Amino acid sequence: MKYKIAVIPGDGIGPEVIREGVKVLRAVEETQPNLGFDFVEFPYGAEHYLKTGELISEEGLDELSKMDAIYLGALGDPRVKTGILEQGILLKLRFYFDQFINLRPVKLYPEVPCPLRGKGPEDIDFYVVRENTEDFYVALGGRAKGRTREQLEVLRSLYSAKFGLDIEVDKDEVAYQIGVISRKGAERVIRYAFELAKRKGKDLVSSVDKANVLSHSYGLWREVFEEVAKDYPDIRTEFLFVDAITMWFVKSPEWYQVVVTPNMFGDIITDLGAMIQGGLGMAPGGNINPEGVSMFEPIHGSAPKYAGKNRANPIAAILAGQMMLEHLGEGEAAMRIERAVVKVLTEWKVRTPDIGGKSTTSEVGDAVANAVREIEAPE
């Protein structure tokens, strides 16, 4: 099978880590006679935007829709105002392709330093399933300042009733952001979490919310979770408030198997998950539409201060490639990459500074690619 893979190297360290990810995928290609890749590079990112004023065109989206998957490096550049690239490219891709699942494996690999005392690989191995297209990311909101009294009357009344604060409608400024959770959006991501638990042999799905305070939106989330759970009687369930789960991720990460969460909270807790698995350089992620074009990326940012220095850890990008293969149904090839990463890590010969070594980005990519070629086929 030959797959067409869109490659968006992006900004900062993105091109460096994606280069190593492609290198490892090419090595996999050498070991699998019936597997091939046609990599098609797209220029979207800061340089393209600064030169052309274009974020991503309709023609570009049409071309991307013809691909089997998207492989993304990173987005973000200090020369571009925060939010422009992220909203204009990353979020646009997620929404355009309805990538309603953000899948984050939180897994501590052998010989990777963990900041949690006494915790090892046997303790940190779970998944976070984050809803990816709703909540506060639907971009509904705005600011109100100096408008007519009628336009601001609702906000003025709200502030007066809730806080005893009488805002001056002609002078004061109010910003508001509206979070949206639909029954359909919640149901499909929660059901994906239960199906993932079945597929991976897990028997606990934990739901995250803040229904005690934000009762309208997250009350609906809880209601849908309870309804979906009835279809999976063999899987245990629990509810956790988002503030509590941040504590328990640190104290007892071994408890968790599959965690499902609305968008905003998932954005926050997955970075905590990355740190307990050894740092952002070890953390891959997938933006998934089970029936459409999905996108895979390291979850770290563009880290512009390290760009061009050949010192960024490419393992997150390499493991994002591994996730992409698994999603495409190439389980044997995906397992080969993971085994190669474990081999390189346990040998302690080649590793980047963030996990205790002195190797370069390209040296780690070379080592993993060589390990892919050398290890025996997965059983």
pLDDT in tens, 213-247: 878 789 999 999 999 999 999 999 999 999 999 99
Q: Confirm whether 137 is a catalytic residue.
A: yes
CATH of domain 1-100+291-379: 3.40.718.10
At residue 160 the predicted structure's pLDDT band, cuts being 50, 70 and 90, is low
The model's pTM is: 0.90
- Count Cβ neighbours within 10 Å for each residue of 118-155 and write b for 16 or more, e otherwise: ebeeebbbbbbbbbbbbbbbbeeeeebeeeeeeebeeb
pLDDT of the residue at 159: 53
- Start-to-end Cα distance in the chain: 21
Confidence of residue 40 (pLDDT cuts 50, 70, 90): very high
Catalytic residue among 92, 119, 210, 343: 210
**DSSP one-letter string for 88-140:** IIIIHHHHHTT--EEEEEEEPPTT---SSTT--TTT-EEEEEEE-SSEEEEEE
Query: Residue 75 and residue 85: Cα distance in Å, rounded?
Result: 7
The active-site residue, picked from 127, 137, 218, 256, is 137
For 182-202, the pLDDT digits (tens) are 999 999 999 999 999 999 999
Q: What are the residue ranges spanned by the domains of the chain?
A: 1-100+291-379
* 38 included as an active-site residue: no
Selected catalytic residue, list 243, 251, 349, 358: 243
Q: Is 267 known to be catalytic?
A: yes
Residue 68 amino acid letter: D
What is the rounded distance in angstroms from the CA atom of residue 18 to the CA atom of residue 74?
Answer: 9
